[in-house]
Structure 1
Amino acid sequence: RDEWGFDGAVISDWGGSNDRVESIKAGGDLEMPSCKYGVDEIVKAVKEGKLEESAVDKCVERVLTLIERTTKGESTGKFDVEAHHALALKCAEESVVLLENNGVLPLKEGVKVAIIGDYVDSPRYQGAGSSIVNPTKLDKINDIVKDYSLNIVGMEKGFNRYGKKNDGLKNKAVKLAEKADVAILFMGLDEVTEAEGLDREHIGFPENQISLFRAVRVVCPNVVIVLSCGSAVEIEWAKDADALVYGCLGGQAGARAQLDIITGKVNPSGKLTETFPVKYETCPTAAYFPGEKLTAEYREGLYIGYRYYDTVGVKVSYPFGYGLSYTKFEYSNLKVDDKGVTLTVKNVGEVAGKEAVQLYIGKENGEIFRPKKELKGFKKVALNPGEEKEVYIPFDDKSFRYFNVKTNKFEIEEGTYQIYIGASVEDIRLTGELFVKGTGAPNPYKKEDLPSYYTGKITHVSDEEFEKLIGRPIPQSEYAFYKKNRMVIDENSTVSDLRYAPGWTGRLFSSLMRFAVWFMKAIGNRTMANTLVMGVIHQPVRGLAKFSGMGRNKLDGLLTMFNGHFFKGVGLFFKSEEDSEKEAKKQNKEQLEAEKKAEAENKEIK
């Protein structure tokens, strides 16, 4: 709070609070969802002197302040829907990334266009799970394409978005593409493949869509692919397209933004915010992820994304910061001082456009290990044909710092830093240098102990080297079985872990849930399968108690049953909340009487 100057409320993720009393001490204001046994423990901790009442008061105050701030101005109940949608459109237009273009885009007037894809009438425009919001308006390609001067020869679905092979849909699309000069394929990842609360099992692209593209490529002279997905995919197959547009998840106006880019109404200026690797095996985490049992080990350290690929020189499909335009830009006149960088950018093309100028900083042969270069600033500049502008990107308190684990704060290593100005992390146009005075902090590491981290080659870090990096033994990754396939179950054990419970109730519950996931996948209901995995299978027992509004006695009852004491657990579970509350009230009354008695004795002594 002090470092960021943050005076707002800190709210837990759904079921993310492990210990409510400790979270209040740390400044956690609101637990989601509201948990009865968590509330009971706060009251108990205050009465036992383990939690200051003033700490609870501060949390209450910040929550009340949040309510006041977020309810101001609600009395009118009105807002301009069209103005909001216009802003959503502007955001989407600035975000679309042009990955490939052999000159087919923007589309020429009069060309015959075939529009193909399952996302034409049902766009993929936002995430899945609890990130879903209700749009005030939603643009769809099939609804809005009439607003553009395009010679549309027809529209076909072409494929099933969930990956099921359908030759009928494919054949209709290919037949339509034969009539067109340009086929636009609206493709992407479905809402089930990319969902909140679940990790993707691979970064491949649906085979039925790749197959459709290849078939259309044979019969149509020009093929444009528009991708709607929220993360990187293996995309080498699509480089055979005449143009490749990454629409990402563009929000409620995303479809119109895509058509604006395709038709040239808007010149693309988006840049990739993540690297597209050639294949998953080249990712820095491929050898370590996912964790198979109790732990996930982040052995890659700082070398994630472009910080790894660029440092080690791994070939990628599209680098971080990459994005094409319908015009070209020249960079010149770099000047570097201790406040920032200044340079000139000129539009040397024939149409107006915007360029996102990127500032990267690195330090060769430093005593502290770090990536070859890191993004430290950027600025988007709009230029008419032939126009040039001076661009200034300032340094800030984060430009040269690193976190020192010995001093437990951010420090600056003294020395000469390399300054890179580029159109992407790979496309560096200008370079400079700057000497920066350091803070004189001790080096937290020894080079000889961490050879992988000083070279960036972190795909096979040994246990010994990783322990030297984290400064402690690697946490146990194996289950703590006290006998074959049996372990003590606690409130942080997941439903998946219950397969190893001493009690038959735990094993039965885990088996039923895992069977339900298998069954839902088998009948094609992947959405429900996902919900069960993220909402039940990977849920700790304390999460089940929170979601169902259980008190502490019910949670303890479950744990007792799962650990093999069925009848005792049942007794605890069905012990009424009323009895628990009566017992608590009795204890409170006794405590109040004791306090009054002590107060009276003190008065008598005085």
Structure 2
Amino acid sequence: MLGMLASNAINSNGNDIEAMVEMLLNRMTLEEKVRLSYAQSKFSSPGVPRLGVPEVYTSDGPHGVRMEINWNNWDHAGWTNDSCTAFPALTCLAATWQPELASLYGRMVGEEARYRNKTVLLGPGVNLYRTPLNGRNFEYMGEDPYLASRMCVPYIQGLQSNGVACCVKHYALNEQEIFRNHVDVRVSDRAMYELYLRPFHAAVTEGGAWSIMGSYNQYLNQHATHNARLINDILKNEWGFDGAVITDWGAAHNTNEAIFNGLDLEMGSFTDGLSTEASINSYDDYYLGRAYLEKCRKGEVPDSIINDKARRMLRLILRTGMATNRGFGVMNSPEHVAAARQIAQEGIVLLKNNGILPLVPKDKMKILVVGENATRSLCAGGGSSELKPRDEVSPLRGIKERFGDRCIVEYAKGYESGRAMFGEVDVLPQALYDSLRNEAVEKAKNADYVIYVGGLNKNHTQDCEGGDREHYQLPFSQDRLITELLTANSNTVLVIVSGNAYDMPWLDKAPALVQSWYLGSEAGHALADIISGDVCPSGKLPFSFACQLADYPAHKMGAVGYPGVSPDKLPQPFGGEEGKPMSSAGLLKAAVEGWKGINFCNEPGNGSMKNETEIYGEDILLGYRWFDYFKTKVRFPFGFGLSYTTFNYSKPAIDGRTVSVLVSNCGKVAGQEVVQFYVGDDKSSVIRPVKELKHFEKVALQPGETKQISYTIDDEDLKYFDEEKHEWVAEHGTFTVYVGASAADIRGKVKYKY
């Protein structure tokens, strides 16, 4: 009877859910409450079978529903009906600057997760882009917290409309993969609130996220997944989060901290999260397993904590697996494929074009496609983001389908990267590189056009979980290959696939450069749509491309800024007081003075547990904020992207709090422009960025068409976080609103007095 009641009484009304939570809680034994808080397999946790409460089934990831993994080990289960639609990586979604597409993306991937009967989808990732070496930047949404916030909220809402919970990750301060399991991040409160916590705050307070994933790293010498300040103080008390906190796989380290510091569901302990198997009975040995139960039985854990964890897990289940309005889901529908293609189209960024693009096909025109990424599956590898798409259209296939009826399309591999192995690099002989390069260059001499498709991939030390890139250059001798191709054929279009910025020693000679991302199932079609001009490019960069690695402040500081140093090597004033946040004012003063007199350590720690501390010494000056403040030239700025048409901006006008600008399409083809509004405080009592993104709008315009774009200033847009008061503060004075096509292409300014 109770099982029927639990199955049938839940709907979308929050009051009904809370009533059911309390009803179930009152009928549960202590053992049943505790058992909700730890895994029963690699990707699931138990419900309460006696009361009809179903299990929780989680799945990677934010770009599509991962293939099935075995119940008790990390091998692929070998199903034949678990192929998915692979959506573009979230870096591509951010590059669309289109919240409506984020909503569509979330809804589509949620339908596939629902069809596969998943309760929780592990994503989206909203960590910020601090270094271009971070192996997981491709999973995130760039360097700006406002852009990440505006894109993650509709994604979450679209996903959860299917009765599938998002699990926003990785909370928090997880901006690298090297030393990720233990690096102790030190950051000021101001930088944390203004930058690194903002997308998570938006996900919780605006997106209504139902679960959050705790990250591997430490903050203030305590692991983030059971960190008292991050979870109890900020997430649950300040923000009022009522969902479940779930570990990243293997991120728990301590029973007492897990009990008392807000962790609700423990996954993957006593494995490395990736390869190690666990025996079926070992789940009871988890930190929130038998040890937690024994403490409860001894009266060492208050009922309030026991019941809070159980409530949160019950609430998660009632919102998902037991929701009557959950629907049935859809898998690999034409609508899903079309959505993946549109998101890829709008996320591709045209970085350079001397007029060679769009490429107009002519009879018997000879096109040579070069590069491993033209044929390689870019859904495989990368760690937990791996996918098994039903159909992955390669760039070579897409180009052949678009140009092959009139043109002769040939292919040369050009370079080889080896197998996608997690945690290992497949080293290939130089003779192989030489042979493949020479073959491609010789063929290029006889082609009318060359389309090069290279870049990074999802091998270890590329765009891959569990390890960072080793350098800023393109791997596999590609810089030499690209240089020789440009010499052999001046009509060479470069398409670089990556989730990160990279060095470009050949840029001046390149007639065209297209920034592609991991585009998913429809990669080849979307890329051909852009190259051919069937679709006008409209993507904008979600992060800055610096001229060299040392221009990023994380790398200017030496190893203390990335990837971390032994605590005894911390320079002053960066050591900070143990257990307390660092001072923003002190960090900024040191940064502005060029860190003069500070003896930086350039040697990272040895990688042993709890042996690295890392200082976010750039403080609030992340990304374009740093380059603006210090007037540092970048190769391509945040928000940059070219089009096949041109847009004219009128002089902006302000009426009260509303800033308006007229934007016109002055070209001959329809296109979309992302109009960006930044706000800067002209005179402040504290150091502030020159400007910060506060609004953007993507507008579609026909040739000759003009539209008015407006932005209304909100008090929140004027504030900074005051560490002393622990509150957001706006100082009275004059602010400048910058209207532009990128962070470096400002088309007009207006003043606003507050």
Please indicate the TM-score interval, normalised by the length of the shorter structure.
0.5 to 0.7
2:352 corresponds in structure 1 to 100
Q: Aligned match of 1:184 in 426, 451, 457?
A: 451
Given the superposition, is the C-alpha separation of residues 328 and 401 from structure 1 closer, same or farther in structure 2, using an over 3 Å criterion?
same
Looking at structure 2, the residues matched to 114 and 419 of structure 1 have their Cα atoms a distance apart, in angstroms, of 47
1:255 corresponds in structure 2 to 524
1:344 corresponds in structure 2 to 662
The offset of 1:238, in angstroms, is 2.8
The offset of 1:281, in angstroms, is 1.4
Q: Superposition pairs for residues 51-66 of structure 1, below 5 Å?
A: 51-66=301-316
Report if the CA contact (8 A) 2:665-2:703 is conserved: yes
Given the superposition, is the C-alpha separation of residues 49 and 399 from structure 1 closer, same or farther in structure 2, using an over 3 Å criterion?
farther
Q: Which moved more, 1:79-88 or 1:67-76?
A: 67-76
SS at match of 1:379: strand
Given the superposition, is the C-alpha separation of residues 152 and 50 from structure 1 closer, same or farther in structure 2, using an over 3 Å criterion?
farther
The offset of 1:78, in angstroms, is 4.1
1:79 corresponds in structure 2 to 331
SS at match of 2:614: coil
Q: Superposition pairs for residues 513-552 of structure 1, below 5 Å?
A: none
Residue identity in the other structure for 1:277? A
Looking at structure 2, the residues matched to 37 and 123 of structure 1 have their Cα atoms a distance apart, in angstroms, of 37
Are 1:275 and 2:544 an aligned pair?
Answer: yes
Report if the CA contact (8 A) 2:412-2:440 is conserved: yes
Are 1:323 and 2:641 an aligned pair?
Answer: yes
Report if the CA contact (8 A) 2:266-2:286 is conserved: no
Report if the CA contact (8 A) 2:657-2:712 is conserved: yes
Looking at structure 2, the residues matched to 108 and 52 of structure 1 have their Cα atoms a distance apart, in angstroms, of 71
Report if the CA contact (8 A) 2:479-2:505 is conserved: no
Q: Aligned match of 2:385 in 125, 131, 156?
A: 131
Looking at structure 1, the residues matched to 290 and 457 of structure 2 have their Cα atoms a distance apart, in angstroms, of 42
Q: Aligned match of 2:242 in 1, 4, 7?
A: 7
2:366 corresponds in structure 1 to 112
Residue identity in the other structure for 1:12? T
Report if the CA contact (8 A) 1:228-1:246 is conserved: yes
The offset of 1:46, in angstroms, is 3.0
The structure richer in helix per residue is 1
The offset of 1:239, in angstroms, is 3.4
* Number of residue pairs aligned between Structure 1 and Structure 2: 436
Given the superposition, is the C-alpha separation of residues 133 and 177 from structure 1 closer, same or farther in structure 2, using an over 3 Å criterion?
same
Looking at structure 2, the residues matched to 422 and 251 of structure 1 have their Cα atoms a distance apart, in angstroms, of 31
Are 1:140 and 2:383 an aligned pair?
Answer: no
1:167 corresponds in structure 2 to 434
Instruction: Give CA deviations for 1:24-80 in whole Å, capped at 9, x if unaligned.
Output: 444332122256241233224434544322322222222233234333577746435
The offset of 1:222, in angstroms, is 0.4
Residue identity in the other structure for 1:289? Y
Q: Superposition pairs for residues 585-600 of structure 1, below 5 Å?
A: none
Q: Superposition pairs for residues 300-315 of structure 1, below 5 Å?
A: 300-315=618-633
Return the TM-score normalized by structure 1: 0.68
Looking at structure 2, the residues matched to 123 and 225 of structure 1 have their Cα atoms a distance apart, in angstroms, of 19
Looking at structure 1, the residues matched to 518 and 723 of structure 2 have their Cα atoms a distance apart, in angstroms, of 38
Are 1:290 and 2:552 an aligned pair?
Answer: no
SS at match of 1:143: helix
Report if the CA contact (8 A) 1:105-1:243 is conserved: yes
SS at match of 1:231: coil
2:745 corresponds in structure 1 to 427
Report if the CA contact (8 A) 1:236-1:278 is conserved: no
Looking at structure 2, the residues matched to 215 and 43 of structure 1 have their Cα atoms a distance apart, in angstroms, of 66
Return the TM-score normalized by structure 2: 0.55
Residue identity in the other structure for 1:145? I
Report if the CA contact (8 A) 1:81-1:136 is conserved: no
Given the superposition, is the C-alpha separation of residues 383 and 77 from structure 1 closer, same or farther in structure 2, using an over 3 Å criterion?
closer
1:500 corresponds in structure 2 to none
Given the superposition, is the C-alpha separation of residues 207 and 141 from structure 1 closer, same or farther in structure 2, using an over 3 Å criterion?
closer
Are 1:385 and 2:729 an aligned pair?
Answer: no
Given the superposition, is the C-alpha separation of residues 404 and 47 from structure 1 closer, same or farther in structure 2, using an over 3 Å criterion?
farther
Residue identity in the other structure for 2:317? I
Given the superposition, is the C-alpha separation of residues 70 and 180 from structure 1 closer, same or farther in structure 2, using an over 3 Å criterion?
farther
Instruction: Give CA deviations for 1:131-157 in whole Å, capped at 9, x if unaligned.
Output: 223323311123333321351341111
Given the superposition, is the C-alpha separation of residues 126 and 330 from structure 1 closer, same or farther in structure 2, using an over 3 Å criterion?
farther
Instruction: Give CA deviations for 1:531-555 in whole Å, capped at 9, x if unaligned.
Output: xxxxxxxxxxxxxxxxxxxxxxxxx
2:732 corresponds in structure 1 to 414
Looking at structure 2, the residues matched to 384 and 92 of structure 1 have their Cα atoms a distance apart, in angstroms, of 21
Residue identity in the other structure for 1:196? E
Report if the CA contact (8 A) 1:126-1:251 is conserved: no
Q: Which has the larger radius of gyration?
A: 1
Cα RMSD of the aligned pairs, angstroms, is: 2.3
Report if the CA contact (8 A) 2:659-2:711 is conserved: yes
Given the superposition, is the C-alpha separation of residues 100 and 369 from structure 1 closer, same or farther in structure 2, using an over 3 Å criterion?
same
Looking at structure 1, the residues matched to 332 and 742 of structure 2 have their Cα atoms a distance apart, in angstroms, of 37
Given the superposition, is the C-alpha separation of residues 355 and 75 from structure 1 closer, same or farther in structure 2, using an over 3 Å criterion?
closer
Report if the CA contact (8 A) 1:357-1:421 is conserved: yes
Looking at structure 1, the residues matched to 656 and 265 of structure 2 have their Cα atoms a distance apart, in angstroms, of 42
1:501 corresponds in structure 2 to none
Are 1:200 and 2:469 an aligned pair?
Answer: yes
Are 1:67 and 2:317 an aligned pair?
Answer: yes
The offset of 1:338, in angstroms, is 5.7
The offset of 1:233, in angstroms, is 0.7
Q: Aligned match of 1:17 in 243, 246, 252?
A: 252
Residue identity in the other structure for 2:710? Y
| Structure 2 runs not aligned, ≥5 long | 1-235, 270-282, 419-426, 565-603, 606-611
Q: Superposition pairs for residues 22-41 of structure 1, below 5 Å?
A: 22-33=257-268, 36-38=285-287, 39-41=289-291
SS at match of 1:252: helix
Looking at structure 2, the residues matched to 168 and 188 of structure 1 have their Cα atoms a distance apart, in angstroms, of 19
Instruction: Give CA deviations for 1:193-238 in whole Å, capped at 9, x if unaligned.
Output: 2211222222111262111112211221301010101111112423
Instruction: Give CA deviations for 1:543-589 in whole Å, capped at 9, x if unaligned.
Output: xxxxxxxxxxxxxxxxxxxxxxxxxxxxxxxxxxxxxxxxxxxxxxx
Given the superposition, is the C-alpha separation of residues 78 and 141 from structure 1 closer, same or farther in structure 2, using an over 3 Å criterion?
same
Q: Which has the higher contact order (CA 8 A, sep 6+)?
A: 2
Report if the CA contact (8 A) 2:657-2:752 is conserved: no
1:154 corresponds in structure 2 to 410
SS at match of 1:259: helix
Given the superposition, is the C-alpha separation of residues 134 and 234 from structure 1 closer, same or farther in structure 2, using an over 3 Å criterion?
same
Residue identity in the other structure for 2:489? C
Residue identity in the other structure for 1:258? L
Q: Which moved more, 1:90-99 or 1:337-346?
A: 337-346
SS at match of 1:211: helix
The offset of 1:91, in angstroms, is 0.8
SS at match of 1:130: coil
1:499 corresponds in structure 2 to none
Looking at structure 1, the residues matched to 457 and 332 of structure 2 have their Cα atoms a distance apart, in angstroms, of 31
The offset of 1:396, in angstroms, is 4.5
Report if the CA contact (8 A) 1:236-1:317 is conserved: no
The offset of 1:265, in angstroms, is 0.8
Q: Aligned match of 1:218 in 487, 505, 509?
A: 487
Given the superposition, is the C-alpha separation of residues 425 and 29 from structure 1 closer, same or farther in structure 2, using an over 3 Å criterion?
same
Given the superposition, is the C-alpha separation of residues 238 and 207 from structure 1 closer, same or farther in structure 2, using an over 3 Å criterion?
farther
